Amino acid sequence: AQSVTQLGSHVSVSEGALVLLRCNYSSSVPPYLFWYVQYPNQGLQLLLKYTTGATLVKGINGFEAEFKKSETSFHLTKPSAHMSDAAEYFCAVSYNDMRFGAGTRLTVKP
Amino acid sequence: KAGVTQTPRYLIKTRGQQVTLSCSPISGHRSVSWYQQTPGQGLQFLFEYFSETQRNKGNFPGRFSGRQFSNSRSEMNVSTLELGDSALYLCASSFSQGASEQYFGPGTRLTVT
């Protein structure tokens, strides 16, 4: 069975600072991994995905994530935070069905 | 291409009533999944339909049911509503079942009083 753990339910950064949202997964088979973002009162929007191939994945809005099999991690990063990045972020792992982490709320301070 | 649409967007029901929510997937997508999102439990998988058949089911009571039509549109039904059913219900569509990336609708906010 697969599962996802997101470390830190709340992360606060200053505008222009590095964003790092942590995700560790558990899967008995090679996983498909995803990051989604949710803005208030909206559904989830796909940021990026890893299926196979290159382990560094680039997504929308300047985000990227690196799949590290040895660490069972898929952390999300962005070099410079923008106010508009404030939202909730979900990591997900998929094999037969999609399993989501508990989410990390990102706050960006001016 | 139009995105996933869900109707209604907001709904208020009384405990004991039943409710039906609707989801229209992206054109060409044949898989529809439903999720319940609450502050306490987060995102929980309800079920997935593909080609009118339920392919996967989460750990929810039988009061939660769904179906998918030949045009891939899906409905979910909750009978005998409880206060704890108050949540944002999200529908997601994907081209194929299982591991495919999913595209989410805006959700239906259900409040049970």
Type of residue at A69: K
Interface of A with B in 51-110 (CB under 8 A): 51, 90, 94-103
**Is B4 in contact with A99 (Cβ distance < 8 A)?**
no
pLDDT of residue A80: 97
Mean pLDDT of B6-35: 96
Strands A104-109 and A10-14: parallel
A4 pLDDT more than 70: yes
**Tens of pLDDT, residues B71-109:** 999 999 999 999 999 999 999 999 877 667 899 999 999
How deeply is A110 buried, as exposed, middle or buried, from its count of CB atoms within 10 A (0-12, 13-18, 19+)? exposed
Contact B98 A95 (CB under 8 A): yes
Contact B104 A49 (CB under 8 A): no
pLDDT digits (tens, 9 = 90+) for A13-53: 999 999 999 999 987 777 889 999 999 888 999 999 998 88
A93 to chain B: closest CA residue: B99
- The 10 Å Cβ neighbour count of residue B17 is 12
pLDDT digits (tens, 9 = 90+) for A49-101: 998 888 899 999 999 999 998 899 999 999 999 999 999 999 998 877 788 99
B33 touches chain A (CB under 8 A): yes
Q: Which of A93-97, A105-109, B16-20, B75-79 has the lowest mean pLDDT?
A: A93-97
Q: Kindly report the nearest CA distance between residue A62 and chain B, in angstroms.
A: 19
